[in-house]
Amino acid sequence: MMQENRESLISLQENFQLSTLNIKLRIGFDGKRAANNLTGLGNYSRSLIEALSKQFPENQYLVYSPKVKSSRQIDAFFEAENIKLKLPISGTFLWRSLNILKDLLRDKVQIFHGLSHEIPFAIQHTKIKSIVTIHDLIFLRFPQYYKFIDRKLYEWKSRSACKRAHQIIAISEKTKADIIEFYGINPEKIEVIYQSCDDSFKTAFPQTTLDKIRTTYKLPQKYLLNVGTIENRKNLKLIVQALKDVNEEYKLVVIGKKTAYFKEVEKEIKLLGLGNRIIFLKNIPFADLPGIYQMASVFVYPSFYEGFGIPIIEALYSGIPTIAAIGSCLEEAGGPDSIYVNPKDPEGLSAEITRVLSSSTLQNEMKEKGLEFVQKFNSPLVTQQLMNCYQKVLS
């Protein structure tokens, strides 16, 4: 059976014609998250592929996934003429790790981009060029946040992908430094290409739309905003502790999936008597999210560690003063005119929130300079950098 598969693979490679001169680029993507996840890496994957498809419409973008979830976001994504969903032809067993190679070769894919830490095994033995994006190595930097088996699996897959891929994309300078430190990769093999966010965050909503969103979710007139999974690393408890010393006119709106850590946060809320000042929202339609950002007074993101921090980019595009934490890469995302605090200092956080809320001059300055800074992450620029990376790998 193994010999038969080997002969089949060789036969497919013989029929694989690689020419960037006479045919359009056919770029394959690990689309498991693009085709199934409605947040986080799913949004990242769809935004990246959509930007490529619009800016470089002459190419074909093939999204490989073992299954697809039906939703408004995902269905709309696959409506683009040059984005195609590719499901397994001969079963899902070991497909993303190995058997996908037959489909890639059959489809004459020239570049395969693993959008999240892994690429198929043995792809280096084909003519297909491979690129892997590494978002972070938090599971090595803060192993206490992960189960042992998960940590080992993530490390094995990402280390292997970094060794075998033709090119590594790191989403921040901090992530690049971590790849070099933990995996001993040659820095010349790693290119930093920042992330952007969905274009819907880059346009102000009409007041009528904002009013409708406020009514739908019963949002207060004045609120701080935090977006992200409610887990230990994101450090929501620090915001709760700081909130007690912030003007009572301001409430805290939290958007994110709850994990076991939520019980710890809930305990702190009860201890401080803040139950009436904190609103938890979940399963928010993506189309409404920019409006919730745009109506916030301050965006607060005191995460202990991030690979980059797309919520900060979303906040800056939304014209919101942003306060984040020191210690990882958040300064890269927020720029010199956002404010950064020690993620273990609730008094320091409350003082900075109060300073921003008390000064319209400071708020306007942070909004204007933040919006100016965030243009370095605008989709056309980032997408061009990505296409340049593809062309370099093919050359």
Q: What is the dihedral of CA 20, 192, 305, 159, to 10 degrees?
A: 60
In this predicted structure, what is the pLDDT of residue 107? Answer: 96
The pair of three-digit structure tokens given for residue 332, joined into one six-digit string: 């890269």
The pair of three-digit structure tokens given for residue 25, joined into one six-digit string: 């680029």
In this predicted structure, what is the pLDDT of residue 130? Answer: 98
Domains observed in the chain: 2-196+379-394 (3.40.50.2000), 199-376 (3.40.50.2000)
Q: How far apart are CA 35 and CA 29, in angstroms?
A: 11
In this predicted structure, what is the pLDDT of residue 5? Answer: 46
In this predicted structure, what is the pLDDT of residue 82? Answer: 96
Report how far Cα 158 is from the mean position of its chain's Cα atoms.
17
- In terms of residues, how long is the chain? 395
* Arithmetic mean of pLDDT, 348-364: 98
* Arithmetic mean of pLDDT, 210-235: 97
For residue range 158-211, what is the model confidence (pLDDT) as tens digits?
999 999 999 999 999 999 999 999 999 999 999 999 998 888 999 999 999 999
Question: What pTM value is reported for the model?
Answer: 0.86
pLDDT over threshold 80, residue 316: yes
Q: How far apart are CA 214 and CA 212, in angstroms?
A: 5
**Average predicted confidence (pLDDT) for the chain:** 92
pLDDT over threshold 70, residue 54: yes
Q: Which residues contact 337 (CB under 8 A, 6 or more apart)?
A: 365, 366, 369, 370, 373
| 351 φ, ψ (degrees, to nearest 5) | -65, -40
For residue range 321-346, what is the model confidence (pLDDT) as tens digits?
999 999 889 999 999 999 999 999 99
Q: How far apart are CA 373 and CA 235, in angstroms?
A: 25
